[in-house]
Amino acid sequence: MISVILLSGLSLCLQLPGETSFQSDQVLTELVSDWVQARIDKDPKKQEHAIVQLEETLRAKEIDLSDIHYWEGVFQNAIPYPAHPEGGTQRSQWRDFEKPIAYRVPTQHAGNQNLRPLMLVCGVGEGGLLLQKIPNEIAEKAFLVAVGLENLQEASLSSETRQHFLGSLAFAVQSFPVDRNQVWLLGLPEVQNETRLLSSYFPHLFSQVEVLPLPQGEGLSASSFLNSAPRNPYPLEFFAEFLIPSAGRNFWVQARQFDLPDPVRGPSSLRVKVNRESNTIHLNADRVYRVDLFLNDAIVDLGRPITIFRNGAPSRFLPARSLPVMLENFATNLDAQALFPTVIHGIDIPRQAP
């Protein structure tokens, strides 16, 4: 979970090469900001008031929640970021981290609010030294954040390790206008296994993952990142494996009940496939027994009934788009490029015959 910071309206700056910006309705953007601020302040009355104003505005403007890409712009522009007047490598204390986090801002990006890719650099040692191993060609196109993995056990990665990693990601997305569809994970040679484990626990967070076999950044190809395809947060077909109890999320599916990896059969898994024409979702599970589905109109048509086949057994659902649901999902993950106005909770999947 990535908790949110104070949100308010902002103005967009001139777009530079390698950046992304969104156009959106300023009134809606400000109302979304009002709701999130009320949530941070734990003021349910103000939250309810912001929702009422949002819904009134939607009716007046004849806008609904079906165009999810339009709403991505509204939510993205609702996030302000701390000013970074200077580019280059800097350090910042973050929450209860023992050491300051080292990060680098592209020199041409100083003071800009347009989106750029993020590279998380995993290694051992002082963060600033880790970032020096990244070619300037990448450093001038992306935000860099060092993730120190000192004194951590690689075998399973403790919950503290995972929280440290997710905390570093939270720092990045709350500090910089990160393009969440271009988050790159790089593992330096000394943490190859740890990086691979992190990428397997949270595959939906990254658009590109690389592990370097050589020290000093040797073998790092800038083009493999700069030319990589962006993340598709709403895939219509994917395969997920579940390795630990706390990593049940994969794109828009949250596994709630599943078996831990078996020495012989391996990890529990789920194959997901959507047929948009028939408005159906197929869930073929191996030792996954209950899931939640986070949905939008890029995945299925929420204006029509949905049939979900659970290991072949059909169930019919009548979905409803909900502004409060979409707001809560956004506040939890602070990912404006993965919005879901509908959640179906507690879908039971029949066990497969042995």
Choose one of 226, 251, 271: the last residue of a domain.
226
- Please answer whether residues 216 and 132 qualify as being in contact, where contact means their C-beta atoms are separated by less than 8 angstroms: no
Q: Is residue 8 part of a domain?
A: no
**Cα 314 to Cα 20: distance, rounded to the nearest angstrom:** 41
- Give the per-residue pLDDT at 150: 74
Q: Give the Cα-Cα-Cα angle 36, 39, 41 (nearest 5 degrees).
A: 115
pLDDT at 242 over 50: yes
pLDDT, averaged across the chain: 87
Q: Is residue 82 part of a domain?
A: no
Choose one of 226, 252, 286: the last residue of a domain.
226
Read off the pLDDT of each residue in 300-306 and give the average, rounded to a whole number: 98
Same-domain check for residues 272 and 212: no
pLDDT at 23 over 80: no
In this structure, of 6-10, 83-87, 191-195, the range with the lowest mean pLDDT score is 6-10
- Give the per-residue pLDDT at 316: 97
Cα 274 to Cα 239, 268, 281, 300, 303: the distances in Å are: 12, 20, 5, 8, 16
Q: CA 331, 337, 342, 345: dihedral to nearest 10 degrees?
A: -70
Using 50, 70 and 90 to split pLDDT, how confident is the model at 10?
A: very low
- Give the per-residue pLDDT at 215: 60
Q: In this prediction, what percent of the chain has a pLDDT beyond 70?
A: 88
Q: Is residue 208 part of a domain?
A: yes
pTM recorded for the entire structure? 0.88
Q: In this predicted model, which residue has the larger pLDDT, 324 or 110?
A: 324
Same-domain check for residues 190 and 293: no
Q: In this prediction, what percent of the chain has a pLDDT beyond 90?
A: 67
DSSP-derived secondary structure for 206-227: -SEEEE-SSGGGTT--HHHHHT
> Containing domain of residue 149, as a range?
88-226
Spell out where the chain has E strands: 88-92, 101-105, 116-123, 143-148, 178-187, 208-211, 237-242, 249-250, 253-258, 268-275, 280-286, 288-295, 306-310, 313-317, 342-348
